[in-house]
Every structure is written in structure tokens, then in C-alpha cells.
Chains A and B, each alone.
Chain A
Amino acid sequence: ETGVTQTPRHLVMGMTNKKSLKCEQHLGHNAMYWYKQSAKKPLELMFVYNFKEQTENNSVPSRFSPECPNSSHLFLHLHTLQPEDSALYLCASSPGAFYGYTFGSGTRLTVV
């Protein structure tokens, strides 16, 4: 499969639940990213991983916990979220920012 694959596409969770978002790429890219896109708001960079190492944490609350076990997989573990965390979560990968990002289709998360 080509491109960046995100699962699940849709997720509804309660505030006390624990869930994980998954992102997978087989493009050979070294960098992977999590973005949050809320309604009527700009894209917000959450985390950046380069060669499996986290290089950026954009002041994200600890209820969001990323994991990058290898250069092809990226997870976002969620626990005790708030309703305002409802958003589209986008994963992207890149061989280097000069070359552009390849985005996944996103996970639309609803916290109830």
C-alpha cells in the first residue's frame, strides 16, 4: 500500500476512555508528524519525529502521548480527553521538509 495510512478514520470516545490512533507509511520517509485540525482553526503541529526520535513537542497536553516504534509507524495514545479535543488528527511523513509532506486521510475524533 502506498502513501500514509491512518486508522481508524472515525473515533468516538468517552472522556475516561483510552484509545490509540495509528499512522503507517512505507514511503521510506525519515520524518513523521501529528497535526490537529479543529473546526475553524489553523492546522496545529503537535509532534515531530525524525528517525524515530521526537524532535518537537508543541506544548501538547500530556493526555496526548506519541509513540514512534520505528520509522514507518507512529501512534498517538489518548487518555482522559476533553470535549475540546474533538478534531481531525492528521498524520504526515516527509523525506525532509524541503520535499513536502505526504498526509494521511486523518482520524476524525469526537470526545463525548
Chain B
Amino acid sequence: AQKVTQAQTEISVVEKEDVTLDCVYETRDTTYYLFWYKQPPSGELVFLIRRNSFDEQNEISGRYSWNFQKSTSSFNFTITASQVVDSAVYFCALSGTNTGNQFYFGTGTSLTVIP
């Protein structure tokens, strides 16, 4: 079974605080990909990162960083020094060898950054 869990439904932080969004996944595939998407109020889901199951290196892109840990089946996303423009809904997603051409999305975490 493929499943993505984002336990945090809503998070509020004050601007400049760091915030971590959690993502836990389940899959029986040995080859799979994990993704994060951002959905601002405009509605379009914007791709942030793609990570394959064989690459456990953490990645940093500006204020964004991702921590992939296969041992705990987690792919967490940290925003450093949050800004108001980071306010959005963030989705974690999984695709695997046996998922066909489909993603499995988590339920999303709504982040509000308060100025």
C-alpha cells in the first residue's frame, strides 16, 4: 500500500521563525520518489523538490531544506527564517514503481506566517 501522512493540518509561525513540516510515507516499493509541492492562495501547485529513494543526502535550496530518512520513512521540509510569502498549503507526495503513473498525496499542511 502507498500512503503519505502529513499529521500537521495547520501551523502558524511568526515571521523569521524556522518551521518544519513533517511527512511520513509508506510504500513497499524499493524504488520510489518523494516530492514537495507548494500551493499558494492562487491555487496552482508549485513543484519544490523531487528526491529518489536511493539518495538520502539532505538538500538545501536557499531558505528551504529537506531531510530524507529512510529509517523512519520520513521526508521533512524546513523553512528557515520564514517570510509572509511562505504562507501556503504544502503537500508531500509519493510515486513508486507500482503506483502506475500516479502520485499519492498527503492531506497537506497549511502554513500561516504572521508578520
Which A residues fall within an 8 A CB radius of B? 31, 33, 42-43, 45, 48, 50, 55-56, 88, 90, 92, 94, 96-106, 108
- Chain B residues with Cβ below 8 Å from A42 are 105-108
Q: Are B47 and A100 closer than 8 Å at their CB atoms? A: yes
The tally of CB-CB contacts under 8 A between chains A and B is 54
Q: State the main secondary structure of chain B at its contact with A.
A: loop
Which B residues fall within an 8 A CB radius of A? 33, 35, 37, 42-47, 50, 52, 91, 95, 99-103, 105-108
Q: State the main secondary structure of chain A at its contact with B.
A: strand
Q: Are A31 and B43 closer than 8 Å at their CB atoms? A: no
Q: Are B35 and A55 closer than 8 Å at their CB atoms? A: no
Q: Are A56 and B100 closer than 8 Å at their CB atoms? A: yes
For the complex formed, measure the closest distance between the CB of B29 and the CB atoms of chain A, giving whole angstroms: 11
